Amino acid sequence: MGGHTHEALRISGATKTYAAHSGVVHALQDVDMIVEAGEFISVVGPSGCGKTTLLWSIAGLHQLSGGRIHLGEDEIKQPHPSIGMMFQEANLLPWRTIEQNISLPSELRRIRPDRDRVEALLERVGLGGFGEKMPRELSGGMQQRASIVRALASNPDVLLMDEPFGALDAFTRDEMNKLVEEIWLEARKTVILITHSIAEAVFLSDKVYVMSARPGRISRVVDVPFERPRPLELMETREFFDLVNDIKSDIKHQVPPAGRTTSAR
Ligand SMILES: Nc1ncnc2c1ncn2[C@@H]1O[C@H](COP(=O)(O)OP(=O)(O)OP(=O)(O)O)[C@@H](O)[C@H]1O
Looking at the domain 1-78+189-259, which fold is it? Rossmann fold (3.40.50)
Cβ < 6 Å from ligand 1: which residues?
A: 18, 20, 25, 27, 45, 47-53, 216
Distance CA 16, CA 52 (A): 12
Please state, as a whole number, how many other Cβ atoms lie within 10 Å of the Cβ of residue 77.
12
pLDDT band per the 50, 70, 90 thresholds, residue 264: very low
Per-residue model confidence as pLDDT tens digits over 163-188: 988 888 888 889 889 989 999 998 89
Burial of residue 150 (number of CB atoms within 10 Å: 0-12, 13-18, 19+):
buried
pTM confidence score: 0.90
Residues 59 and 55: their CA atoms lie apart, in Å, by: 6
CB distance 191 to 40 below 8 Å: yes
52 alpha carbon – ligand 1 mean position (Å) = 7
Among 162, 213, 212, CA closest to 192: 162
> With pLDDT > 90 as the criterion, what percentage of the chain qualifies?
66
pLDDT averaged over every residue in the chain: 89
Task: Give pLDDT tens digits for 13-63.
Answer: 999 999 988 889 999 999 999 999 999 999 999 999 999 999 999 999 999
Task: Select the more confidently predicted residue: 172 or 237.
Answer: 237
**Which of 18, 65, 200 for mutating ligand 1's site (highest number of atoms within 8 Å of CB)?**
18
Q: Which amino acid is at 242?
A: D
Q: How far apart, in Å, do the first and last CA atoms of the chain sit?
A: 52
pLDDT, tens digit, 9 for 90 and up, residues 61-95: 999 999 999 999 999 999 998 999 988 888 899 99
